[in-house]
Amino acid sequence: MIDKTLLLSFPRSGRNWCLYSINYLSGLDNPKDEQTLKNIVDFDHIASHINLYNQNIFLIRNYKECLLRHYGYDIVKNISNFFKLDIPNSGIKPSAFINNIKSFEKFNGKKLLIYYENLIKYPKETINKIYNFLQFDNKDRLNDFLNNYEYHKQKSIELYNPDNDGSQSRGVDILFHSRNFTREILNQFDIYYENAYPELYKYIEQYKGKL
């Protein structure tokens, strides 16, 4: 058993911002120092190793937002076959989104579910949950982070890898990508998940009908 926390999140679910927050709250000087950060948490986009850890933070985002963003608008428009596709050059299949939820539900260790939208809309409450879960003891860092929240959010955006196309929603618009699609296509996402995974839909039901 690995004696630290796994941060699990499907691609484009706000992992960079969450990692920046954890790193800063821990008291580290460089919020983008991933090697040092790995002393506190490991992070992965798929749940294949979740049971090696004794605790887990699961960061989840509106499936329409992260799937549209990750796989590209043109591929997703072919919605009838999308969930069956082995998307070329993506590295991660669309099924990983729901598989992560399955693995989180079955995980028997200490765990925390964080919704990306709450991280954006209710930062004080959500950041405090993460801080307490990881049992940090640095109130000065916590207060500085919350009092200068917009500064830190902008700093996190600036630290994106220049080879990556970075944040498009800028941590503000939680329906940025969905606005590029018709209601019909978005509804097909809702119908698919609700019908195919009724026992897990409670985790993502809040996204039904959004936009």
pTM given for the model: 0.87
Measured over the CA atoms of residue 92, residue 95, residue 98 and residue 104, the dihedral's sign is: negative
Residue predicted with more confidence, 3 or 48: 48
Name the amino acid, one letter, at 19: L
Both tokens of 170, joined, read: 């800028």
162-200: pLDDT as tens digits: 555 555 555 557 778 888 888 888 888 899 999 999 999
Average pLDDT over residues 108-134: 95
* CATH number of the domain to which 199 belongs: 3.40.50.300
As a whole-number percent, the residues of the chain with pLDDT over 70 amount to 80
Q: What angle do CA 12, 18, 19 make, to 5 degrees?
A: 105
Average pLDDT over residues 108-132: 95
Task: Give how many domains the chain has, as a whole number.
Answer: 1
9-21: pLDDT as tens digits: 999 899 888 988 9
End-to-end CA distance of the chain: 42
- In the sheet that holds 41-44, the strands lie side by side as 41-44, 2-9, 53-60, 110-115
Q: Which residue range(s) make up the domain with 133? A: 2-207
Per mean pLDDT, which range of 47-51, 64-68, 167-171, 189-193 is the poorest?
A: 167-171
Q: Is the pLDDT of residue 36 over 60?
A: no
